[in-house]
Structure 1
Amino acid sequence: MSIMVMSVVVIGGGIVGVRLARALRDHPADVHLLEKDALGAGTTAKSIAVFSWLESDPSPFAQSLRERAWRTYADRIAEDAISFERIGALLVARTESYRSQLEHAAETYAEHGPDVELLDPADLEAFGIAPEETAGALYTPEEGYLDPGELVSQWAAEAREGGADIRTGVEATGIRTRNGAVTAVETTDGEIAADVVINAAGPWAPRLNRMVGVSAPLRHTKGRILVLETDGDRTLPYTQFESGQYVRGEGRSQVFAGRLEREYADASELDPDEPRSVGGEFYADVADTTARLVPAVADADVAAEWVGLRTVTPDGLPIVGPTAVDGYHLACGLSGLGITYAPVVGDLLAEYVATGDRPPALDRLAPDRFA
């Protein structure tokens, strides 16, 4: 008996799109992946690459996604197939009310999540944090950072081995539909017939949605990052302060510094093709605050900077699954957690697209949850 092979076009060659192409190789599908630049050159390249375990208000569902995603990484780390720098993570309180919130988070993690420990201000000096500026912290030794380029390269190679057609420098310029279903993708390299189109285009996702008349609550925030060169003799853990500002050690002599901006209410749709710099006000604010909270970097020089757009959703969870246009699926809105969620988003959607069986987790991530 012959097996019908569907044509699947994945638009976007960041970590989510490449993971989708890799996951689909295990199913009978003719897979095409389109990336208008180089693989992993967009938001994926402009992240700080942390696998994020800690949240100040954790939910069991979000933790279950993290645990499934982590199993994918852990297997490869155990085989020395990918690099992982385990540096730990701190959520640092500057007020007693936020410390109380972290105490509640610790109770949640005791039942569902990583090993955590509540620290007093005096404990933070060992991590290079000014204790007099804090009210304590929540700590896990389990967080660390990966190499996004390495992940994208490996998954792309494995997808190609499975027969995927991966095209770089090729932009999707239109999506054809007939009778409410996708039929083809128009590109700068010709037209590709499609039974399924997956929008994994990161900050370009709203633009693709408009091609087929699909509306989804996606907005952008600016992921602005400074790279500080220090004379330090230790690697700082990923440290996120109550204000959302963070630092993350990169080896023993560099520190990434920025501010976590994930609030949908404060976001807007931006042009992802527009060049951006961190800006003087952000630079001064981050430099001043970092020097006060992390004395070890007070005299650091700024070695580099970059800005990557984060695509955020109202509830902070990705938007994954089918839309009102038959065959058109979303895999976007990872809200700054692309490295963390990419394996689970890719694997869940690949399973659904290939089998028609909807994994229960997709009910919580479905585009129509905002209707």
Structure 2
Amino acid sequence: MQDASTDFLIIGGGILGAATAWSLAQRAPVGTRIRLIEAGMLASATTSQAAALLTRVRPDPAMAALVAETFVAIEQLNAVLDQSLPLRQVGSLHLASHDAGKSYLRETWHTARSLGLKAEWLDGKGAQSLAPWLAPGEGSEALFVAEDGYMDPVQLAQGYFSAARKLGVEVMQNCRVEALIKDQERVLGARTSNGDIIAGTVICCAGPWSVKLLAESGIQLPMAPVRSHYWITEDNTELFLVESPMVILPDANAYARPEVGGLLFGLRDQQAVYGDPAGLPEDIHGYLFNCDPEGWECLESGWTDLAEVFPAIEHLGVAHYLTGVSSYTPDGKPLLGRTALAGLLVATGCSGGGIALSGGIGRLLAELALEQSSYIDTTPFAPERFGPVDPFSEAFRIRCALARSQKRSG
């Protein structure tokens, strides 16, 4: 390691670390040293497992502001990168036939209007024209939000990294953090597999591994590793049009979007599956939760409701099943900002929404790290908002899992 000191040290080379590095480099004074370290390869862990739905309509204005900033960030990145990012701004289609689902649609419509977003009501025929695989039932309602989209999460992360490097950020791969270095109540840097790095400020974006790492320094992060998973059907270009919108199905607690000729669809477990933050492997790929490891129980329990609006699933083959780890908090909002350990900030706990929130989180963490005025109120995301917690306890992990099973939007 040529220089073992830096002004800002970012731990974690996923999408939040990438977005924070880029935003920090944009705002920091000339000559500021910024280093990002990643235990493996960039954007190869939980970022690579994401479905990456960029839905702008969020009931909480602060959450909506984070997502809106991601769309701004994509435009800014396109202006400096050699090639534009592959954003598929195809909109989101929300379909419901039951009372609870229709209530969700009405709430979404009101929220969209309050945010200045266009939301259009459609009948069943109009919904099916956008997504031919859908079979809306009699009396169903549909809402189309045109400004939503999705994109490959790794390509977005690499876009942040490329722009950050252009601004002088040093990125180190295959450099694992073994412990934080601290002096009484202040962080001084990190002990890594490549040696010690001294830093004026440390920003932890290490995803589900953050809990164990920070607990060793007395910081108890209120989040737990919860399973996120989805399936991809075999190809059918007549049913799954490339320009079809994402689809949100609150009645079935499901979502879907086109994926290279097939359909990617996710189901949220009625009883969410969670893991132990102390037992996560270094390599997340191939990691299986000890409950319903292959997802068959979840698929079986959600099959009837899904087949009601997606009858083709009865004869289509499933080509792929992907399971990943999301970091959930009890209220489904991220953990962003300063910790009780001076000089240490965190950006994690995105509850399955890290790709959509990335640009907003990057900007917010950069402003906090530089002690600038924040563009949004940080109170809803304060890491200490739940009071003292034990993230390793069974009871607390169940609280976090419930946040996923009760989630209704994309």
Relative to the length of structure 2, the TM-score reads: 0.81
Query: Is 2:258 the counterpart of 1:249?
Result: yes
Alignment of 1:1-371 (within 5 A): 7-26=7-26, 27-28=28-29, 29-55=32-58, 58-76=59-77, 81-126=84-129, 127=131, 128-132=133-137, 135-233=140-238, 234-235=241-242, 236-242=244-250, 243-251=252-260, 253-260=261-268, 269-270=276-277, 271-273=279-281, 275-276=287-288, 277-285=293-301, 289-371=305-387
Task: Go from structure 1 to structure 2 and tell me whether the alpha carbon gap of 1:178 and 1:262 turns closer, same or farther (over 3 Å shift).
Answer: farther
Q: For the residues of structure 2 that align with 1:7 and 1:102, how far apart are their CA atoms?
A: 47
- Which residue identity is paired with 2:18? V
Contact 1:94 1:241 in 2 (8 A): no
Find the aligned partners of 2:153 and 2:159 in 1 and give their Cα distance.
Answer: 10
- Give the 3-state SS of the residue equivalent to 1:367 in structure 2: coil
**What letter matches 2:113 in structure 1?**
A
Task: Please tell me whether the aligned partners of residues 68 and 360 of structure 2 are also in contact (alpha carbons under 8 angstroms).
Answer: no
Asked if the contact 1:199–1:331 (Cα under 8 Å) also holds between the matched residues in 2, the reply is yes
Amino acid at match of 1:90: L
Sort the Cα spacing of 1:39 and 1:230 in 2 relative to 1 into closer, same or farther, 3 A: same
Give, in whole Å, the separation in 1 of the partners of 2:54 and 2:196.
37
- CA deviation map 1:83-106 (0-9, x unaligned): 111222122223123212321331
Distance 1:101 1:49, change over 3 A: closer
Which runs of 5 or more residues in structure 1 are unaligned?
Answer: none
Partner Cα distance (1:153, 1:132) in 2: 41
Per mean C-alpha deviation after superposition, the further-off stretch among 241-250 and 285-294 is 285-294
> What whole-Å deviation, never above 9, does each CA across 1:219-239 have from its counterpart, x for those lacking one?
222111111113232244211
The alignment-based identity, stated in percent, is: 26
**CA shift for structure 1 position 75:** 4.0
CA 1:54 to 1:296, structure 2 compared with 1: closer, same or farther past 3 Å? Answer: farther
1:321, distance to aligned residue in structure 2 (A): 0.5
Alignment RMSD: 2.6
Whole-Å separation in 1 of the counterparts to 2:367 and 2:188: 21
Q: Distance in 1 between matches of 2:196 and 2:55?
A: 39
SS where residue 87 of structure 1 aligns? coil
Which amino acid in structure 2 is aligned with residue 53 of structure 1?
A: R
Cα distance in 1, alignment partners of residues 370 and 225 from structure 2: 30
Query: Secondary structure of the equivalent of 2:33?
Result: strand
* Structure-2 change in CA distance of 1:31 and 1:207 (3 Å): same
3-state SS, counterpart of residue 86 of structure 1:
coil
Higher strand residue share: 1
**1:257 and 1:290 in contact (8 A); partners too:** no
Q: Structure 1 residues 292 and 356 mapped into 2: Cα distance closer, same or farther (>3 Å)?
A: same
Q: 1:278 to 1:286 in 2, by over 3 A?
A: farther
Cα deviation, residue 161, structure 1 = 2.9
Q: Residue deviations 1:298-330, cap 9 Å, x none?
A: 432222221111111222221111011001111
Q: Judge conservation of contact 2:77–2:160 (CA < 8 Å) in 1.
A: no
1:221–1:262 Cα contact (<8 Å) kept: no
Distance (whole Å) between structure 2 residues aligned to residue 85 and residue 63 of structure 1: 19
Q: Number of matched residues?
A: 363
Instruction: After TM superposition, give the deviation of residue 218 of structure 1 in Å.
Output: 0.6
Alignment partners' CA distance in 2, 1:344 and 1:293: 34
CA deviations 1:5-48 (Å, max 9, x no partner) are 96211111001001111122231432221111110011110011
Q: 1:139 to 1:267 in 2, by over 3 A?
A: farther
Q: Which stretch shows the higher mean deviation, 127-136 or 97-106? A: 127-136
Separation in structure 2 between the aligned mates of residue 123 and residue 261 of structure 1, nearest angstrom: 30
AA matched with 1:45: S
Amino acid at match of 1:350: A
Instruction: Name whichever of 96-105 and 354-363 sits farther off.
Output: 354-363
Q: 1:153 to 1:262 in 2, by over 3 A?
A: farther
TM value normalised by structure 1: 0.88
CA distance in structure 1 between the aligned counterparts of 2:227 and 2:63, rounded to whole angstroms? 23
* 1:51 partner letter: L
Between 345-354 and 148-157, the greater mean CA deviation after superposition: 148-157
The aligned amino acid for 2:13 is G
Contact 1:262–1:312 (CA under 8 A) maintained in structure 2? no
Contact map agreement 1:77 1:84 (CA 8 A) in 2? no
Alpha-carbon deviation of 1:171?
0.8
Where 2:137 maps in the other structure, the secondary structure is helix
Alpha carbons of 1:224 and 1:133: their partners in 2 closer, same or farther (altered >3 Å)?
farther
Determine helix, strand or coil for the equivalent of 1:347.
helix
* Contact 2:65–2:360 (Cα < 8 Å) also in 1: no
- Separation in 2 of the partners of 1:202 and 1:59? 23
Change (3 A) 1:182 1:63: same
Q: Distance in 1 between matches of 2:99 and 2:154?
A: 40
Query: Unaligned regions of 5+ residues in structure 2, if any?
Result: 388-410
